[in-house]
Amino acid sequence: MSPSQATTATVFDVAQIRADFPLLARTVHGKPLVYFDNANTSQKPESVIEAVNAHYRERNANVARAVHQLGEEATTAYEGARDKLAHFIHAPSRNEVILTSGTTQSINLVAYSYALPRLKPGDSILTTVMEHHANIVPWQLVAARSGATVKAAPINERGELILEKFFEMLTPDVKLACVTHVSNVLGTVNPIREIARECRKRGIPLLVDGSQALPHRPVDVQVLGCDFYALTGHKMLAPTGTGALWARRELLDDMPPFFGGGEMIREVRFDGTTFAGIPHKFEAGTPNIAGFVGLGAAIDYYDSVGFEAIHAWEQNLLAYATERLREIPGLRIFGEAKDKEPVISFLIDGAQATDMATLLDLQGIAVRSGHHCAHPLMQFYNVPATLRASLAFYNTREEIDAFVVALLKVRKLLM
């Protein structure tokens, strides 16, 4: 069955899903909004917005510092989000889930607390050409301080990691491998289980950037077999400024704190401060409490819809959008991996990405243009920028149709 023949109406009721996302009902420049910038940040369901709202209306207090009722309720709600997250990624223990402001902070935590103390001249960190800057620059910073180097494994024209090359590059000087689960530009899904198996054989820990995976597929860190998994909340229906790092307990126990301050200590003395155990050792200061309450509600929302239905719907949308985009003369898609999430980067001959995004916006269509924080990937394809349409389970075929009509119009204007 071709994607255009497939009937998706049986999978789930997208109209009902859309009704849960208030922002999707708005117009932009007088046109119905078509939000195709989900890889940048997702929209939020009413239940998440309401959870944050209710927190501030009914329970606002600081966590872990008060014995009063509000403080206890706030702490329970905040720690409840950790439980939900641990369950969501199937972490062996809730204490292995460090709550952070997002993937960027999670990766920096590993860079400064795990990698920096271990790296010495001659060592290296292996990453890939398809990484977001958040999974490149922190490694460059700690490499510069320690005399280590950062190596990048190549990809092929379809935007897939060349696995044999990656494995060949896992030489004894490599002290950490860092790979994205799903590319934010290409949608490529990397075979993390296989990569983790090869890393483990060589005794090299593996960090996975899960930012773009969790919005689309169930993740089980134990099945994946990685050592660190970084994630960000705002791409998965939760408020901005929420995220986490999961890591194996042995690694976390061995890592010194990254930020110092309140709540991460056991006892502070001028002759020697001792630290709390995990996870609190890594959570200095007042966290984004309401944000994490929202993250808990986001996970509940995913649970209520189910990833089986989400995946089926999104894969159908991806196939349909790809087929429709290929109808446009001069359109080139970047990223044609066999295993792909619904992210489509493309260019149209003779048109600048930013001009197109600006004109699409005037028609109510939100896509991203630019380098997508992936300069090395742009260098690989030898383009300064691409347009990126990134879909979510609340998008529809009708929106894709509207997008194609708008693209044809814009193309004409720019030719």
Residue positions annotated with a catalytic role: 373
Q: Which is nearer to ligand PMP, 130 or 360 (CB)?
A: 130
Distances (CA, A) of 296 to 105, 112, 134, 279, 392: 19, 28, 24, 17, 19
How many alpha carbons lie under 13 Å from residue 151 in its C-beta half-sphere?
Answer: 20
Task: With contacts defined by CB under 6 A, name the span among 3-11, 131-139, 361-369, 402-410 that binds ligand PMP.
Answer: 131-139
Least CB distance to ligand PMP at residue 247 (A): 17
Task: Name the 3-class secondary structure at 311.
Answer: helix
- Among 197, 214, 205, which residue's Cα sits nearest to residue 90? 214
Q: Which is nearer to ligand PMP, 184 or 363 (CB)?
A: 184
Least CB distance to ligand PMP at residue 413 (A): 29
* Residue appearing with tokens 């193309």: 411
Long-range (24+ apart) CB contacts under 8 A made by 279-282 are 279/82, 279/94, 279/95, 279/96, 279/97, 279/98, 279/99, 279/252, 280/64, 281/252, 281/257, 282/98, 282/100, 282/109, 282/113, 282/245, 282/252, 282/255, 282/257, 282/258
Footprint (CB under 6 A) of ligand PMP, residues 100-129? 102-104
E strand or H helix at 34: strand 34-35
Least CB distance to ligand PMP at residue 412 (A): 31
- Among 395, 235, 297, 269, which residue's Cα sits nearest to residue 48? 297
Should residue 390 be labelled a site residue for ligand PMP when binding is judged by CB under 6 A?
no
Task: Name the 3-class secondary structure at 201.
Answer: helix
- Site size for ligand PMP (CB under 6 A): 14
Choosing from 134, 284, 317, 407, the residue that interacts with ligand PMP (CB under 6 A) is 134
Least CB distance to ligand PMP at residue 390 (A): 9
Q: Which is nearer to ligand PMP, 135 or 316 (CB)?
A: 135
Give the burial class of 172: count Cβ atoms within 10 A of its Cβ; 0-12 exposed, 13-18 middle, 19 or more buried. Answer: exposed
Task: With contacts defined by CB under 6 A, name the span among 3-11, 20-28, 209-217, 333-341 that binds ligand PMP.
Answer: 209-217
CA–CA gap between residue 349 and residue 328 (Å, rounded): 10
Contact between 129 and 380 under an 8 Å Cβ cutoff? The reply is: yes
Task: With contacts defined by CB under 6 A, name the span among 57-65, 208-216, 294-302, 403-411 that binds ligand PMP.
Answer: 208-216
Least CB distance to ligand PMP at residue 371 (A): 11
CA–CA gap between residue 155 and residue 164 (Å, rounded): 11
Choosing from 211, 345, 395, 396, the residue that interacts with ligand PMP (CB under 6 A) is 211
Task: With contacts defined by CB under 6 A, name the span among 96-104, 167-175, 193-201, 255-263 that binds ligand PMP.
Answer: 96-104
CA–CA gap between residue 29 and residue 283 (Å, rounded): 42
Choosing from 43, 124, 188, 212, the residue that interacts with ligand PMP (CB under 6 A) is 212
Footprint (CB under 6 A) of ligand PMP, residues 12-41? none
Binding mask 231-250 for ligand PMP (x = CB under 6 A): -x-x----------------
Q: Which is nearer to ligand PMP, 132 or 411 (CB)?
A: 132
Q: Which residues bind ligand PMP (CB under 6 A)?
A: 102-104, 132, 134-135, 180, 184, 209, 211-212, 232, 234, 373
